[in-house]
Structure 1
């Protein structure tokens, strides 16, 4: 059980302050150049239908209803007071890989920035961390105390253990009952078909999903030379391999791996963004949020 002494530990406070400051700099720098929120409209709930009237936007016409009734009807929505967002952070062993910045550290900065943006908009934000199972979970809230608990959870996350993205995401989909925004931060190094099914389980429950797939360029380029010992960061097993003999085949399989996610997630209306840790996370976030804003 956490004590007040833990929260007052100078090292903990310094770590939280650095994370909070970086998140603030990224988000406030982005928002200063834009008036619209990139997450605007996620919290709309369907209320009722009404007949089309001159001046209504055609994009609001429900064409399925028109097909059944031969009449034009408009969907009406009511705004909820706050968006509910859930950040799902993968902290399995494979997320610890990286030359200068590990995939987990990259995900932590990205997650903290997104949490701060949502908090600044007075939205409810929560977090869950996982590897083979759900490790920590903080329900969404708009309170500052909750936001600081989220930052502490992010700061304390360390990589370790195997992963089971499929089962864990499916479990979380069962737990998250109220419709909201689900942000997944993971390398998604699991069976792609299984990961797809688990992400679609959120869609079945009407959630909006942002899947950030975070990788290191070593995983795409396979730049290793001569014989090398490769260690599995999740189960500790080792294998001696001559990279030159398998590089072309590896790269081809990796391309197929990414292609599967790009195509199948798009078909499932799941927002998929591939990020490499050599791209500054603030620039990656800027580009993504600007894209979202343009699409609204």
Structure 2
């Protein structure tokens, strides 16, 4: 099923569903260990017309603690307070680096280092839905603000701040019991420092085709994400997704490094959970 079909289907699904106060509970291992691999095809940096393919293989780690939670469809977060209607936590995110000697627009400029983000997140649980086919859905709004840091693994530099509220719908069992799908929309704003990290051109790096440019703060763009995961077994899953990113109206569209109003990311891979704990915890589905 094409992932774009999910967005067209959501309004009808929500109207046909019955709302329930609490999500179904699952008995899950406290921790899981395994490995996963994936392939990503992405622009070198936001709005870049040049793209890179990356293949990665990493350990797969899930921890479902009362406070610290890692993996399980999310990156990582430290939960400070939680109820049936909201969750307050510290959340984390990361992004790949980019080599300037492999990008025509950035040739001769410093590389873009790996980025990681950390900051508070308030997740509001807007609705939970149960359907006649026994599938289940959840709608939430996450209010996120993070500090951004870059690293070349020899040092760490602060690169500014980002705010990115996210509206997300997740569905378990759409058409098939093994299928989990999600769609999210995330507008992004950043301060001048982070914009300058991507779009600024210092005078010493200016050329005839790349004039000096000082970035300004403001709107960065909007990201539509579509994701699907097929659970072959409790231990083996395959996944795929796409992100459509619009930079229409972005604050630094006049930078010589800004190229495209729209970019698309693609990714896919698999996860294999090899070991898990004998101790189990009860968690709402998807938490």
TM-score class, shorter-chain normalisation, is under 0.3
**Rg (Cα) greater in structure:** 1
- TM-score, normalised via structure 1 length: 0.18
Bigger share in strand: 2
- Structure with more contact order per residue of length (Cα contacts < 8 Å, sep ≥ 6): 2
- TM-score, normalised via structure 2 length: 0.18
